[in-house]
Structure formats: C-alpha cells, structure tokens
C-alpha cells in the first residue's frame, strides 16, 4: 500500500521518521515530508512548488497517516482537506483529533480512523 505521512516536520520530524520506518518494515511504500529537505525560504512561491509535489503524492497514495502528536498546523489541515477531497482514508496517530475533526466536518461518512495500526499495521499481503 502506498502511504503518505502528513504532519509538521518542525514539530514531529523524528517521530515521522520512526513511523515511516515502521510502515516500511511492514511492506508499505511510504512518502514522508521528513525525507525532503525542509525549505529554508519564506517565499510563498517556492513553498507552493513544494506543496504541489506533496499534493501529487497524496493523489497517488492509497492512504494518509496524520502524525501530529497534538499539533495540527495549517499545512497539515490543508493536506487533510486535500486528501478528503480525493476520498483517501485518513489514519491518525492521536485518536483525540479524529473526534474533533469529525465534529468540524459534520460528516460521519468521511474516512477518518483513530489509529493506523488496525489497517496499516500488519504485513503487506502480496
């Protein structure tokens, strides 16, 4: 399964790396923002290029894992909305955020899961 990890590299970079390694060990193909050098620019045009690359990864993914550990910034929120617009299932590492997001969306049919382990935690079947 192709998985994209979403979250703040500044707040959770090491956590995202461990999560990526764990998912890869279970046979998943993983794209994580901690794999890409963090832009050292404040130029919105340059950041937009990075965001478009990331959005393409979300479009091509089978699922998104939100690795927030209590912090959802504007970029992560944007990525969640983008993934939802393509009907991607979204798994959270912090289950308390699922209920808050569901309440905001007021849509119980959205594919939001409180934990990734149940679906993504087992070895990939060939």
Rounded CA separation 37/90 (Å): 24
Q: Please give the pLDDT value at position 126.
A: 44
Topology of domain 2-38+47-120 in CATH is Rossmann fold (3.40.50)
For residue 81, what are its two tokens? 């909305």
- Location of structure tokens 């955020």: 97
Quick: pLDDT tens for 24-58.
Answer: 999 999 999 877 766 666 676 666 657 778 899 99
Q: Residue 41's pLDDT is what?
A: 65
The per-residue pLDDT for 119 is: 61
Tens digit of pLDDT for each residue in 59-86?
Answer: 999 999 998 777 778 888 889 889 989 9
Residue in 76, 34, 37, 46 with CA at minimum distance from that of residue 58: 76
pLDDT at 92 (0 to 100): 85
Q: Where are the domains of the chain?
A: 2-38+47-120
């Amino acid at each position: 399964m192709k998985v994209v990890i979403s979250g703040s590299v500044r707040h959770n970079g090491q956590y995202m790396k461990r999560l990526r390694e764990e998912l890869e060990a279970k046979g998943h193909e993983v794209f994580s923002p901690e794999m890409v050098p963090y832009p050292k620019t404040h130029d919105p045009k340059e950041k937009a290029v990075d965001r478009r690359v990331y959005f393409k990864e979300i479009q091509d993914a089978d699922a998104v894992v939100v690795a927030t550990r209590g912090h959802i910034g504007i970029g992560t929120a944007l990525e969640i909305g983008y993934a939802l617009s393509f009907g991607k299932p979204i798994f959270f590492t912090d289950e308390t955020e699922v209920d808050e997001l569901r309440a905001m969306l007021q849509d119980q049919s959205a594919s939001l899961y409180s934990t990734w382990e149940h679906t993504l935690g087992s070895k990939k079947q060939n």
